[in-house]
């Protein structure tokens, strides 16, 4: 320890009225420490930050030729990361192993090393050829959570003046600040890496989920739709998806977006029929604060949210003619104003629209603007109703049952007769109706097997003419419907299937079905009860 008491004849003290050199050094180092903390808090980019720290040590603390080395996690050696010298920046890829030179000694045994004069230490290697032999040298470990992560080394710019200990303590404080910042940067980098992995996983999952290869439908008409959607997905072309409700228009929109170059950005959706016109304008274009009662703050609309991505406008045919004019402008120019605002906002948005309406007729009737129709109808995709692709029903049903089974935590299975009954329905509600029908059947099934008696429709609208039930490899004709007969003596039929087939042929009149089976009414009633057959009411 040094005696810092003022003595008139001491070499350490200036003339009367001044401060001792220790006090001056402490003030200098305190200012430098503050400057270092500001540099470290400015950014987590260590490639930029560490060099600025060494510059501050040179300019503010009189500690020059700063060197920072970091531990290589693979080799365990110290790699030179940054050197700052009055002669200019020096880049060096030298490594230090344990015990190699002064830097290696810190790696071997993490502790502070202080040399009053570099030339007096024979183990000093001076590989970078920047250190002055007549000047002191300080090297301190940089630790994170007790683990050595690097070494900070500096050289005071003046010969030893008895204050080497104070300077070493200051360098230790700087190394501690670097270690804390490094720990924060490592935590942020780890969190960022985790988020990137999760994001990439979600992207792969979404792309697989909405990929064209995973979409259900092997009929020729659906393959044609998928091929067209796959081709248009590569471009920014506006798409108009046409089809009845429940045919899967939103699924096609999802597939187009997530297989397009815009997949990294948002897919924003809006059902135009779900909102009145005044709210629809605010939802699409956004509004400024005070634009209307309740607008307490500015809000981005769907177009701004979808910037760089895709906007899916469902039921576009339901918007009013007045609002169609506002839609036309943004489709043509890509610009609009928020409700209550005057600033023109320009966006880059790909439009996918959908409708179940006959827009050509709406144009003829004056209900839909012709210019907007042509702006939307650049690439039309027509989704056929389910009754026109009846061969897809078995595969769609399996897919939907898999999803319902996941929700119910059990395996669900359709019998052949249940599949035939599904094939005999007209499906006015298309796939949505099919999903509801299967979910009802799954709820009613105790063991997960869904037989024909559990397939129920809100209204008994069966097709009068049964159509072939096509699969990938064969064509199977439905074996029963209200107007068709099957061989009830077929040995491949179970007793339950024989009774149900007879009931179907008899229009679910039990006495008539009993005669078909050669039973008494009491016998068939007993069979219905013991086989747990749900009797249809007409």
Residue 457 phi/psi, 5° resolution? Answer: -120, 145
Determine the average pLDDT of the residues in 43-62. Answer: 83
Q: For residues 240-263, give the mean pLDDT.
A: 93
- 430: tokens are 């298309």
Per-residue pLDDT of 420-442, as tens digits, reads 999 888 898 899 999 999 999 99
pLDDT at 93: 56
- Tokens 């004709």 found at: 477
Confidence of residue 536 (pLDDT cuts 50, 70, 90): low
pLDDT tens figures, 68-83: 888 888 888 888 888 8
> In the predicted model, is pLDDT for residue 6 greater than 80?
no
As annotated, the residues of the chain forming the CATH 1.10.8.60 domain(s) are 388-530
Superfamily of domain 21-187: GAF domain (3.30.450.40)
Mean pLDDT, range 215-243, rounded to an integer? 92
Q: How far apart are CA 51 and CA 39, in angstroms?
A: 10
Enumerate the CATH 3.40.50.300 domain ranges in the chain, comma separated: 212-291+298-384
pLDDT at residue 466 is higher than 90: no
User: What pLDDT is stored for residue 88 in this prediction?
Assistant: 59
Q: How does pLDDT run across 183-223, given as a tens digit for each residue? A: 887 788 788 888 888 877 776 676 666 666 667 888 899 99
Q: Give Cα separations from 119 to 129, 136, 171 (angstroms).
A: 13, 9, 21
Judged against a pLDDT cut of 80, whether residue 47 lies above it is answered with no
Q: Where are the CATH 3.30.450.40 domain residues in the chain?
A: 21-187
Distance, CA of 338 to chain centre: 28
Strands 63-71 vs 95-96: parallel, antiparallel or unpaired: unpaired
Q: pLDDT (tens digit, 9 = 90+) per residue, 256-273?
A: 999 999 998 999 999 998
Given CATH 3.40.50.720, say whether it is the number of domain 212-291+298-384.
Answer: no
Percent of the chain with pLDDT strictly greater than 90? 40
Q: Helices 416-423 and 495-505, interaxial angle, to 10°?
A: 20
Higher per-residue pLDDT: 410 or 522: 410
| 64-118 per-position pLDDT tens digit | 888 888 888 888 888 888 888 776 555 555 778 888 888 889 888 899 999 999 8
**Model's pTM, two decimal places?**
0.57
Residue 18 confidence (pLDDT):
40
Most confident of 36-45, 79-88, 509-518: 509-518
Which residues are bridge partners to 80 per DSSP?
Answer: 69
Convert the pLDDT of each residue in 144-179 to its tens digit: 888 898 999 999 988 988 899 999 999 999 999 988
* Stronger pLDDT, 108 or 458, i.e. the higher one: 108
Q: How confident is the model at residue 337 (pLDDT cuts 50, 70, 90)?
A: very high
Task: Report domain 388-530's class.
Answer: mainly alpha
Range name among 16-25, 305-314, 351-360, 518-527 with the lowest pLDDT average: 16-25
Residue 137 neighbours by CB under 8 Å, 6+ apart:
102, 113, 114, 115, 118, 121, 124, 131, 153, 154, 155
The DSSP element (H or E) to which 144 belongs, if any, is strand 137-144
For residue 360, the model assigns a pLDDT of 93
* Dist CA 535 CA 522 (whole Å): 15
Q: Is the pLDDT of residue 15 over 60?
A: no
Region 355-384: mean pLDDT is 93
pLDDT at residue 4 in the model: 36
Average pLDDT, the chain: 83
Q: Is the pLDDT of residue 307 over 70?
A: yes
Given a cut of 80, whether residue 484 has pLDDT beyond it is: no
């Amino acid at each position: 320890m040094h005696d810092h008491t003022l003595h008139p004849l001491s070499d350490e003290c200036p003339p009367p009225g001044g401060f001792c050199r220790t006090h001056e050094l402490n003030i200098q180092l305190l200012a430098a420490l503050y400057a270092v903390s500001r540099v470290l808090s400015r950014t987590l980019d260590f490639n930029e930050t560490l060099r600025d720290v060494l510059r501050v040590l040179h300019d503010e603390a009189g500690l020059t030729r700063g060197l920072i080395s970091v531990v290589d996690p693979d080799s365990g050696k110290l790699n030179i990361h940054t050197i700052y010298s009055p002669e200019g920046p020096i880049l060096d890829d030298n490594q230090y192993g344990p015990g190699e030179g002064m830097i290696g000694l810190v790696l071997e045994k993490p502790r502070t090393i202080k040399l009053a004069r570099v030339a007096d230490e024979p183990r000093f290697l001076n590989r970078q050829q920047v250190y002055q032999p007549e000047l002191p040298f300080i090297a301190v470990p940089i630790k994170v959570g007790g683990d050595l992560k690097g070494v900070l080394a500096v050289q005071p710019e003046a010969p030893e003046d008895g204050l080497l200990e104070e300077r070493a303590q200051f360098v230790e404080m700087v190394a501690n600040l670097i270690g804390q910042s490094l720990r924060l940067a490592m935590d942020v980098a780890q969190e960022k890496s985790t988020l990137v992995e999760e994001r990439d996983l979600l992207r792969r999952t979404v792309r697989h989920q909405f990929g064209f290869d995973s979409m259900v439908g092997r009929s020729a008409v659906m393959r044609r739709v998928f091929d067209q959607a796959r081709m248009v997905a590569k471009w920014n072309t506006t798409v108009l998806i046409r089809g009845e409700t429940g045919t899967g228009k939103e699924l096609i929109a999802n597939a187009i977006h997530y297989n397009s170059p815009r997949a990294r950005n948002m897919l924003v959706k809006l059902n135009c029929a779900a909102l009145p016109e005044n709210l629809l304008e605010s939802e699409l274009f956004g509004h400024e604060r005070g634009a209307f009662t309740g607008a307490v703050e500015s809000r981005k609309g769907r177009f701004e949210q979808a910037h760089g991505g895709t906007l899916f406008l469902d039921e576009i045919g339901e918007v009013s003619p007045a609002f169609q004019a506002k839609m036309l402008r943004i489709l043509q120019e890509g610009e609009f104003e928020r409700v209550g605002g005057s600033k023109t906002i320009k966006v880059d948005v790909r439009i996918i629209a959908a409708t179940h309406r006959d827009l050509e007729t709406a144009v003829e009737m004056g209900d839909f603007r012709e210019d907007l129709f042509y702006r939307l109808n650049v690439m039309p995709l027509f989704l056929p109703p389910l009754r026109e692709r009846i061969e897809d029903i078995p595969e769609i049903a399996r897919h939907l049952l898999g999803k319902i089974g996941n929700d119910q935590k059990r395996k669900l299975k359709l019998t052949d007769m249940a599949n035939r009954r599904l094939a005999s329905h007209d499906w006015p509600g298309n796939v949505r109706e099919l999903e509801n029908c299967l979910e009802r059947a799954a709820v009613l099934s105790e063991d997960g097997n869904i037989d024909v008696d559990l397939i129920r429709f809100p209204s008994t609208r069966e097709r009068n003419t049964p159509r072939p039930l096509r699969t990938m490899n064969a064509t199977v004709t439905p074996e029963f419907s209200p107007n068709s007969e099957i061989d009830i003596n077929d040995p491949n039929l179970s007793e339950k299937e024989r009774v149900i087939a007879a009931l179907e042929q008899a229009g679910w009149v039990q006495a008539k079905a009993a005669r078909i089976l050669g039973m008494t009414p009491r016998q068939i009633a007993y069979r219905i009860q013991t086989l747990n057959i749900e009797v249809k009411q007409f």
